Amino acid sequence: MKEIIDQISARLREQNILVPDEEIEVRLKKLIDDFRVPEGEARRSVLNYFQKEHGIMPQARASSEKVKLSEIKESGRWVDLEVKVLDLWEPATEAISQTGLVGDGSGAMKFVKWKKSDLPDLVLGQSYSLKKVITDEFQGRFSIKLNRTSQIEPLENEVEARSVSKAAQEMKVIEISEPGLWVDLKVKVAQLWEPNSDSISQSGLIGDETGSIKFVKWTKADLANLEEGKSYLLRNLVTDEFQGRFSVKLNRTSQIEPLDVDIEIGSQAAEFSGALVDVQKGSGLIKRCPVCKRSLAKGVCTEHGKVDGTYDLRIKAVLDDGRRVQDVLINRETTERLVGLTLDEARMMAMEALDHEVVRSLIESKLVGRYFAIAGPRVDRYLLVETINELMPVTESSVDELMSRVEAI
């Protein structure tokens, strides 16, 4: 926080604006702590506020200066660049029209082009002059944003940029500690999930002896499909991060090489205790594709089309400890033990009712409101339950007893 305050104060002093650090801190804290505004955006907002208060032209209309990517050391700076488009990724939100990686002779950096900017699309491999783009920063990594004030001009001469393929380094899963890295991984496919977007051809869980990590393979990458249980050398993956959880993306530059060895997957165990408050859709009696093990939607696998699925039992639930919630996945064996219902009995229930939902309703009636302590590897937003034990519910009398102990200290 102090570093951002110092940056804002220094920029204001350059324009002969003197504002006490305490006033800057109050506005900055309100934006970041109360409204959860990203630090880079909060910095720009506070800077613009005090500029307007003193009759200075807002930063959004300030002049830009031509720089190299390696010279970008702060957020909220307006710059001109000459870069080459090294890679294009699938946007994470409809508000973004394009995102990817651009580079020059000094390095490479992520870019985002907002849909509201109404700017033409960049072409992979093409060199451009980008004017009036704004720098941003998140968790110590810088990026550039193209908005309504930005300009895009194709260049006749190609910009010499560092090849991203040479930047990749072989890593273990546990060594992935920041987004935006290019890595090679030797991994085994632990699980394949149903893609939640047409832009994704495959997603799931891969791992090595140090742990597991989520992967996404973009449809536009035009790569061969991975198979569950098989081991691969995956080259030129890009690391990503969301809410403290890392993942890897396979794109156009990525390569998939099958391995003859069987890689053993280690686990990164986590624990959670709380009340089971919801049994989500997709729980109970389901059918899986016999080839890729994905759950079917109306008898159709997103990869292999209409297939004769095999039955399975699972629970997708939510636990709440009063401060935060945790999504959990419970496999067939544990589901049968918790509910007292075998897979065959669940099939008979569904056949008699002509509705698979009766199984989920039974699970809901038996489990919702009970307290559990669970443990297992954490994957994306889910905790994969390996052990689960029921806890005594929190009662009013136990709370009173605890409060009495605290007051007696």
- Tell whether 350 is covered by a domain: yes
| Total structural domains within the chain | 4
- Tell whether 221 is covered by a domain: yes
- Tell whether 134 is covered by a domain: yes
Q: Which residue has the higher pLDDT, 127 or 304?
A: 127
Same domain for 369 and 280: yes
Burial class of 180 by CB neighbour count within 10 A (0 to 12, 13 to 18, 19+): middle
Same domain for 80 and 13: no
The pLDDT of residue 277: 95
- Tell whether 405 is covered by a domain: no
Same domain for 279 and 382: yes
User: Average pLDDT in the 224-239 region?
Assistant: 92
Task: Choose one of 225, 258, 291: the last residue of a domain.
Answer: 258
63: which 2 tokens? 């002049």
Residue among 129, 131, 138, 132 nearest 110 (CA): 138
pTM (whole model) above 0.95: no
Same domain for 37 and 11: yes
Question: The domain that contains 134 carries what CATH number?
Answer: 2.40.50.140
List pLDDT tens digits, range 359-392: 999 999 999 999 999 998 776 678 889 899 999 8
Tell me the residue range of the domain where 70 lies.
Answer: 65-154
> Which of 105-109, 245-249, 344-348 has the highest average model confidence (pLDDT)?
344-348
Say if CB 72 and CB 144 are below 8 A apart: yes
- Tell whether 160 is covered by a domain: no
List pLDDT tens digits, range 386-400: 899 999 876 666 556
List pLDDT tens digits, range 192-212: 887 767 788 898 889 998 888
Among 10-14, 333-337, 369-373, where is mean pLDDT lowest?
10-14
